Every structure is written in structure tokens, then in C-alpha cells.
Structure 1
Amino acid sequence: MNGPWDVSSDCTPDCAVHAAPRVPAPVRARRGAVFAHTVRRALTDGQRLADPVRLRGHAAALLDALGIRLEGATGLSAGDGPGTLVVANHISWLDILALLAVEPVTLLAKREVGAWPVVGGLARRAGTHFIDRTHPRRLPDTVRQVAELLGSGRSVAVFPQATTWCTAELGAFRRATFQAALDAGAPVRPVTLDYTQQGRSSTVAAFCGEDTFAGSLRRVLAARELTVRVSAHPALSAVGTDLDRRELAALAARAVRGGPPAVAAVAAARRAPAPAVPAPARV
């Protein structure tokens, strides 16, 4: 734990297992070489990587180099007006590539992501906003910045579980960034990320606990017929309602996990006591 706003996952590297036989060593080696070449090509773009068309192309090329098929949504934003707060479950470093390959939204990520090999460099060049969770008093300012981005028409993607879990069902949704959507009058787009191999649910892409990037990359390179599906659910809006950030977060979480209809989700949120949050982290 790096601070009172930090989140610790119960998942470990042991959660990441193949759901299909591994590909042969020559295939792994070829994927690794193509991936390294694709990373170098992306990084040489420098600041040009922030261009949405180039960013989307590089993200898709990196997934393709790893032999990962992308399925599902063709867009994440919910229309004209304010930007969209895109909220997704968090399983892997591959989540970032998958979202950017669908639509190059602005990312909000924990500070540690900036230090990740490959993805960290791409995230920084793409204009990602990083959260320092060791200083929770900065959280209100982060919420204000996200609200300003949304108000300017830019869509922002966040991972409200605050860390990675091996499946979408695990990990509570933190509420703070939903306040930004309320302040900006912006829609919230729940998104489910899930991974399969040969049509079967797979945790091989999970990047949890004390896992290393090298270890995770080796598993991904060896994964047979790995697919990441990005499922964008109907947008949620609190405009003209009395929904608060806790209820909005509950609605989004239920949508991401395929839960009950919105009315039931709101009722459950209003019955449930608010989880204890350290005072400095409240907004």
C-alpha cells in the first residue's frame, strides 16, 4: 500500500493461467520480435503519438503484434456536448492498448503506470494524466481537472477499481471520478473488458500483485488465440436526476458486471452504507 487512497488486490500472479495450449516457441519468438519492432516504431513518433489517428493505429498494431484479436465496441464517446467519462474494469496493462485501439480517449491512471515498460512510455506520450495516490489531498484537484477535461468536450477513461483484478467481478468501484462527471454534466459510459482463448474465458492476460511486466509479456506471447473484447454499455446520465456519485458508481459497476437493471442498482446503492474512506480522500 502506497497511501490511504491506495488499493490492494487479492489477486496474485497465480491467478493468470492459460485456457488453451501454449503456442510453439518459434511463434513466441516471432511475436516478441514483431512486438519489439512495433514498440520502437511507436516510440519514435515522440509527441506526434498524441495525435488520435496515430495513437489508435499504434495501439491496434501492438495488439496485433502480440497475436491478440480485438472485438466489440467501435467507439466509446456518447455524442456531442461534454466529453464522456469512460469507466472500465481493470485486468491488465493490455486494457490500455485495447481502449486506445477503439478510441484514443484521455487516460487517467495511477502514477505507477508511467513507470511500466512499454505501456508507460506510450501512456506518457499520449497525454495520460497520472494520479499520485500517496497524496490523497490532491484528489479534489484531480477531480476538478477531469471535470474540466469533460467540460471541454474531451472524453476521459478511468479504471475505478484503482488496481488490476483477474476478472471484472472483483474490486469495488471508487467514487471520486464520478463526481467529475456530475460536475461537468457529462455522460458515463460503462465498459467491460474481458479476455478469452478459443472462446473460453481466460485470465492469462491478468497483471496482478507482484507480477512483473516481463513475466506477463511471456505469458501473453505464449497465449493461443487470445481475444480482448471491449463491450460498451448504454451511457448513464445524472442530468435531471438526484443521483449522487455513489449511486452513479453503483450503476456503472452493475453495468460492467452484467448486473440487474438500473432501477434495482440505484435502490441497492441507496440501501447500502457508504464504505469507509479516509477523510483526506473525500471530495
Structure 2
Amino acid sequence: MNPWLPTAPCAPGTCAAHTGRTRLPPVAAALLLAGCAWALAGVLGAPFLPLFGPARRERLIRRWSYGAVRAFGVRVRVTGDPVPPAGTPGTLVVANHISWLDIPLVAAVVPGRMLAKREIRRWPVLGPLAAHGGTLFVDRDRLRALPATVRALAAAMRGGSRVVVFPEGTTWCGRGPGGRFGPAAFQAAIDAGATVLPVRIGYRVTGHRAAPAERHAPAGAAAFVGDDPLPASLWRVVRAAGLTAELHVLPPVPAAALPDRRALARRAQRAVASESANRSPESVHH
């Protein structure tokens, strides 16, 4: 099996289901239209981002990304350590991967240049938005392209950029430990002398009307796994009442603190998978 193409056992029929309260179809349809309209507004506005300075550009990206998650009816909760400021050398942000919602969720807190599979470039609305946002696209079917990808990531971090990577290589449903973190992006962090910032993503059903069991179990409605069509996933998300996206910021790890890329990948994976990432310290962003 090609190691650049990991697979998860998660499938839409068994993992991507919502068993809690649901919104009425007209309400869900209104949220779907609002979310798509917000995404389209981002596409139209993205070409103008270079006109702004770095600080203002980052604020705009954060606000748009937060608004994108909220437009689809999903609450946002961020916990953990303060986010380190961008600087030189840059930062490699690594997270577990559950849903298409992960992308705007991370950008709402730690915006950076995303690493994404080449196919996303052809997606309607989201593809052009990703391209305008400086996404680094990778051809996962060509292992020979991997060294060039590592060099591109390292160059971006040397220039002071944050680079956001989902090193599991594919989406998992959020139940269980998830996938192994591939080491390639961590080599780029070592080459650039960068800092690795692990973050943990989860989705829960919250609210006073949510059953206790729902509050503690991962919300399957957010999972975007296997051959799940994007329209079906969008509809599940807007139908799920009380869906909350949670992002836990973990302590940064200097890339030079570990002997090699595999050790660095294991360190980040353990941090993201640890139970401490799922505790509920005071929220810093709603």
C-alpha cells in the first residue's frame, strides 16, 4: 500500500450519524443557504486580501473562518494554551482530521497556509477559496513529489508562515485514537528550525437540552469520511442541533527538541490523542 495514501476504517453508514435533536428541514435549509453564501462571499473577497497588511489580513481570515463555521449552525469552543504569534521561523500546526469543518475551524484560531490534496483545488467554491488563501496542494498519488512538498513547506516556514497540516492523511470519525501521524511534514519543520503546534479537534452535542450521553460522545454528524458526498455531509451538519466544534490548543514543541522527524511526529500524535486534550478548561473563544 502506498504510505502517502493512508486509509481509515470509518465509513459514512457506520460513523457519520446524528442521534440527537435535529432542526426542522426549513431551518436547516436556511442555514445551508447561509453557509454557502458566506463561503461564496469569501471567494469573492479573497483576491483583495493582498491589499491589506499581514496583521489585518490575519484578523479578516479569522473572522471569516469563524463566521463560516457559525453560518452552518455550528458553535465554536476553543480551550487550552494561548496561540503563539506568527514569526520567523514559522510554525507547523498539526491536528487530527475529522471533517471539512476542520479547515475553517483551525483558520478561525491559527490561520496559516494549508496543505491539502490536489483534488480540493477542483471543488466548487472551496477550491478557489483555498487557492486564494495560499494553500499548498500536493499530489498524493505521486510519491516522487513528496521531497518537493517537504521543501515547499520548509520554505514557507522559513519565511515566517504558519503551515497547517493534517498528518493523519485522511479523515477519521473522531472515535478511538485516530490515524498515525505521517512524518514528512515534521521533516520540513526540522529543516526550517520551526516550532510544532499540536491542536486537538473534536465535535460534541452541547446545550442544556442535550442528553448527558450526547455531551460526552463524539458527534457523528460532523464526520466526513470514506466516500461520503459533500452535499450529504453539509445537510447532516445543518440538521444536527447543538453541534459544537471544539479546538484545544496544546503546548508548542520546538522541532529541534526531538532527535528526528519520526520522534517529533510521535510526540505530536501523543499530545493530540491524550486525554488531557479533551478536558474542559476555561473557554477562550465562543
Same topology, TM > 0.5: yes
The Cα of 1:113 is off from its aligned counterpart by: 2.3
- Aligned partner of 1:248 in structure 2 is 264
DSSP 3-state at the match of 2:232: helix
Deviation of 1:4 after TM superposition, in Å, equals 5.5
Cα offset, 1:26, TM superposition:
2.1
**In percent, how many aligned pairs have the same letter?**
40
Q: 1:242, 1:120 → 2: CA distance?
A: 35
- 1:176 and 1:123, CA in 2 relative to 1: closer, same or farther beyond 3 A? same
Aligned residue number for residue 178 of structure 2? 170
Q: CA RMSD, aligned part only?
A: 2.0
1:103 CA drift (Å): 2.7
CA distance in structure 2 between the aligned counterparts of 1:150 and 1:235, rounded to whole angstroms = 15
1:7 corresponds in structure 2 to: 6
1:113 equivalent in structure 2: 120
Q: How many residues align?
A: 258
**SS of structure 2 residue aligned to 1:134:** coil
Of residues 186, 204, 208, the one that matches 1:196 is 204
Query: Do the aligned partners of residues 33 and 249 (structure 1) sit closer, same or farther apart at CA in structure 2, a change above 3 Å counting?
Result: same
In the alignment, the residues of structure 2 paired with residue 136 and residue 150 of structure 1 have an alpha-carbon distance, to the nearest angstrom, of: 22
Question: Is the aligned partner of 1:153 residue 2:152?
Answer: no
The change in CA–CA distance for 1:226 and 1:242 in structure 2 (over 3 A counts) is closer
Unaligned runs of 5+ in 1: 261-283
Seen in structure 2, the aligned counterparts of structure 1 residues 155 and 79 have a Cα distance that, compared at 3 Å, is closer
Q: What secondary structure is seen at the aligned counterpart in 2 of 1:44?
A: helix
After superposition, the C-alpha distances for 1:138-176 in whole angstroms (9 at most, x for unaligned) are 111111111111111111010000010101621111001
- Compared CA separation, residues 209 and 162, structure 1 to 2 (3 A): same
Unaligned residue ranges in structure 2 (runs of 5+)? 51-56, 207-214, 277-286
Instruction: Please state how far the C-alpha of 1:54 moved relative to its aligned partner.
Output: 2.6
Residue 127 of structure 1 deviates from its aligned partner by 1.0
Q: Is the Cα–Cα contact under 8 Å of residues 63 and 97 in structure 1 kept in the other structure?
A: yes
1:233 aligns with 2:250: yes
Q: Which residue of 2 aligns with 1:33?
A: 33
Change (3 A) 1:177 1:66: same
What amino acid is the match of 1:254? R
TM-score calculated relative to the size of structure 1: 0.85
CA offset digits 1:70-110 (Å, max 9, x no partner): 11158644664311100000001100010111132111111
